[in-house]
A and B are shown apart, each in its own frame.
Chain A
Amino acid sequence: MAAVTHEQLHGHHPGPTGLMRWITTTNHKDIGTMYMIFSFIMFLSGGVMALTIRAELFQPGLQVVQPEFFNQLTTMHGLVMVFGAIMPAFVGFANWMIPLMIGASDMAFARMNNWSFWLLPPAAVLLLGSFFVPGGASAAGWTLYAPLSVQMGMGMDLAIFAIHIMGISSIMGAINIVVTVLNMRAPGMTLMKMPLFCWTWLITAYLLIAVMPVLAGAVTMILTDRHFGTSFFNAAGGGDPVMYQHIFWFFGHPEVYIMILPAFGIVSQIIPAFARKPLFGYASMVYATASIAILSFAVWAHHMFATGMPAAGQLFFMYATMLIAVPTGVKVFNWVATMWRGAMTFETPMLWATGFIFVFTMGGFTGLICAIAPIDIQVQDTYYVVAHFHYVLVAGSLFALFAGAYYWLPKWTGHMPSEGLGKLHFWCSIVFFNITFFPMHFLGLAGMPRRIPDYALQFADFNAMASIGAFGFGLSQLIFLVVVVKCVRGGERAAARAWEGAEGLEWTVPSPAPHHTFEEAPIVR
């Protein structure tokens, strides 16, 4: 009833149609959808690079690519996955779900929201286009360490400008999310009643606003060192290449929490729904998230133990890093305690969420091992580190993204995703994921360095195993594409509350969610 009167009052004109609808839209659901489609395309692009890397590493010797191109692939795989796939996917979730969860009519700045998204395709063009310029793409690793990054060709400049544009997009998106959460909540939706996903995104957005400008500063210094004769990272001029690492990781460590805190939020929505119990320790979850964010500013140099620093510095960064295990442990405990004596069922979203807890926790433990300075000296720059961060980024961020996608697909499309295919996707992913990355622990401990196209013979078996797993994992992701396409086209109609135990405002609106929701704010009691 209210909706009809509202249409009459404000007269929503039919906006542009076709492609122009998507280019000019100010609707948070349209923009969220575009974010997710973009991130999936980037995920597949970065995945093709990863599979090329794994094809080359299937056997010792050089078979598929030349070493220079191999380095470009490792660099671009990292940049594309971090800035193109994982981060935009979470922003897509934020766009779709935060207004629905807090009872807002849209994001606080709907036009700017459009620009935040539409800056990403130009950045992707610059980044991926850099493969085709003389000298090829940047090959300095995704961290773009000086002096390598000071020496390369035009591909490096394109990467720098792409990072600037993605940074502008991230900062605008983050400001939008902070303001939406702080200012757009429905009456009665106090901060401590807010769904945890909104809390984790509020804190993530704060981290983004704090550190993306620092990355912009770091790559700007590289740019001026490259072209304008400055000496920030040149010891002959009184600068220091190590300074780049400090500035980069001051951005880089909060960045890894930017990629995992929203994942925590998604999992914290799903587990209560399928355990049919409220989240255990809601307040402690909020405080743990905030603690992780604050601590993240004081741990950056644990990425640089082998670079050289005073023993006091090593000790400080080692202990500060281990401290992060406390709030993270609180979270894992709370998820398990939420399940304790719950009426549990294991539909696809719950499978992904529980899988997330198992595998992400393993990545957390290897993180603790890497945090120990004397051990890190041994394992740094080996496949052990590669195993560690893929356990937290793939099994952490990506699995949570899949969990969230299966959980909210009914709300987005109005149809239930296929349980059979969803479960197949999950089991293939988790099995092939472990086949790919578990052997990398052994490779790293045995001393195989990362970012090399060729290796000694004793590493051959585990590398072959990892490559087989990688191709299995990559092909498994096509199942997801099938699930989504089928779900958009049809399937079992989803009820407003698509899952029996799901709680929250987003389940009070019909499925699929109408184009405009909560134009009159609901009252939350």
Chain B
Amino acid sequence: MSQTTAVRGFDHYFVPEPSKYPIFGSAALLLFGAGSALWLNDVASGPWLFFAGVAILIYMLFGWFGQVVRESESGQYGRRVGLSFRWSMGWFIFSEVMFFAAFFGALFYARVLSVPWLASGDNAALLWQGFSSAWPTSGPYTPSGAEPFTPMGAWGIPAINTLILLTSGVTLTWAHHGLLGNRRGQLKLGLFATIVLGAVFIGLQAYEYGHAYADLNLRLDSGIYGSTFYLLTGFHGLHVTIGAIMLAVMLFRVLAGHFSPQHHFGFEAAAWYWHFVDVVWLILFIVVYWL
């Protein structure tokens, strides 16, 4: 069936040496998980464990990715390793899509099913008379003292943010073309502009959260609208932050002279990720803010 001879054109696949980094990552997540659970239950040691976990995680990420970058730059990754990286990034983004799908699913379920159910049939007749199923809603029962909230409009900051993210997608593609054409100036400028746009987006989102809490009384506990609004936009904002950090790392690598027109998976992966958070925002803008 087979014989063990080397095959022409089938390059040797890079298998790394034993590594100390994974166990640091495991220790970090153990401390992070235990610390979070303790902190949430008001145990004094919780925050300490939590931040210790975060610190170890940052050390692990720096060390591990640093090693990967050095291995890549020293030319140890052949064509097939590059292909593996591309496959894996695609599947990772698919897993992220499914994570967001859970929260979008919750939003659709509430808007299409659970809120109308609460305002119809026996619920309306016996339980919560006068509850209207109009969206947005904080649900049929509001604890006494809670002020009604104002929903977040679509055409102020959110529309500007949409424009910012769409523009950042363009600048990033422009930077990528610069990389492909070996025009390093264009690459640096495009990448820098993308990061600035990302930072402005995050800043505006933070301002919007402050505005919502201070002026609109729109809070995390504002019923199902507040829940879906903050969890969806919050996880998106977290992903934009991660994406911007990835792009910033790429900018530092560009300044250090990394990447060539043929060999730049790290940049590509960060760009894919950025376009992914872009698309999530578009769906968010339509179904959370607009409709």
Interface of A with B (CB < 8 Å)? 2, 13, 15-16, 20-21, 23-26, 103-106, 108-112, 114-115, 118-119, 121-123, 125-126, 129, 153-154, 157-158, 160-162, 164-165, 168, 171, 174-176, 178-179, 182-184, 186-187, 209-214, 216-218, 220-221, 223-232, 234-240, 242-243, 246-247, 250, 503, 505, 508, 518-525
Contact = CB atoms under 8 A, between A and B. Distances in A.
Contact of A518 (B4, B19, B102, B117): B4
B37 interface: yes
B7 A122 contact: no
Nearest to B91: A175
Mostly helix, strand, loop or mixed at chain A's interface?
A: helix
Contacts of A106: 13, 15
B103 A217 contact: yes
Interface stretch (B105-113, B168-176, B179-187, B252-260): B105-113
A108 B84 contact: yes
Interface in B95-109: 95-96, 98-103, 105-106, 109
Given A118-B22, A213-B99, A164 B33 contact: yes
A24 B19 contact: yes
A247 B109 CA distance: 10
B34 A161 contact: yes
Lowest 4 CB-CB distances: which A-B pairs, in order? A217-B102, A229-B221, A238-B139, A161-B33
Given A210-B94, A214-B101, A238 B19 contact: no
Nearest to B97: A213
Contact of B99 (A153, A217, A518): A217
A125 B226 contact: no
Contacts of A178: 87, 91
Nearest to B27: A122
A19 to B, nearest CB: 11
B15 A161 contact: no
Contacts of B273: none
A520 B16 contact: no
B29 A122 contact: yes
A520 B227 contact: no
A239 B224 contact: yes
A158 B30 CA distance: 10
A76 B94 CA distance: 30
A115 B21 CA distance: 8
A129 to B, nearest CB: 8
Nearest to A241: B114
Contacts of B219: 229
Contacts of B211: none
B41 interface: yes
B226 to A, nearest CB: 7
Interface in B1-54: 1-7, 10, 12-13, 15-23, 25-27, 29-30, 32-34, 36-38, 40-41
B23 A118 contact: yes
A149 B105 CA distance: 20
5 contacts: A118-B25, A157-B37, A232-B228, A239-B110, A243-B113
A165 B92 contact: no
Given A118-B26, A224-B220, A525-B1, A161 B36 contact: yes
Nearest to A186: B2
Contacts of B83: 183
Mostly helix, strand, loop or mixed at chain B's interface?
A: helix
Contact of A236 (B37, B80, B141): B141
Nearest to A158: B37
Contacts of B12: 519-520
Contacts of A157: 36-37, 40-41
B140 interface: yes
B151 interface: no
A394 B43 CA distance: 40
B193 interface: no
Nearest to A113: B22
Contacts of A165: 29-30, 33
Interface residues of B, number: 74
Contacts of A210: 94-95, 98
A213 B95 contact: yes
Contacts of A240: 109-110, 113-114, 117
B115 interface: yes
A179 B87 contact: yes
B224 A231 contact: yes
B105 A250 contact: yes
A231 B139 contact: yes
A114 B19 contact: yes
A237 B30 contact: no
B96 to A, nearest CB: 7
A238 B38 CA distance: 29
A16 B18 contact: yes
B90 to A, nearest CB: 9
A122 B110 CA distance: 35
A525 B227 contact: no
Given A121-B26, A171-B95, A214-B98, A525 B2 contact: yes
Contacts of A230: 220-221, 226-227, 230-231
Nearest to A107: B15
Contacts of B2: 103, 186, 505, 508, 522-525
B137 interface: yes
A183 B109 contact: no
Given A217-B100, A522-B3, 9 more contacts: A118-B23, A122-B29, A126-B34, A154-B37, A160-B37, A213-B99, A225-B227, A229-B219, A238-B118
A104 B17 contact: no
Nearest to B226: A230
B18 A25 contact: yes
B138 interface: yes
B40 A187 contact: no
Contacts of B129: none
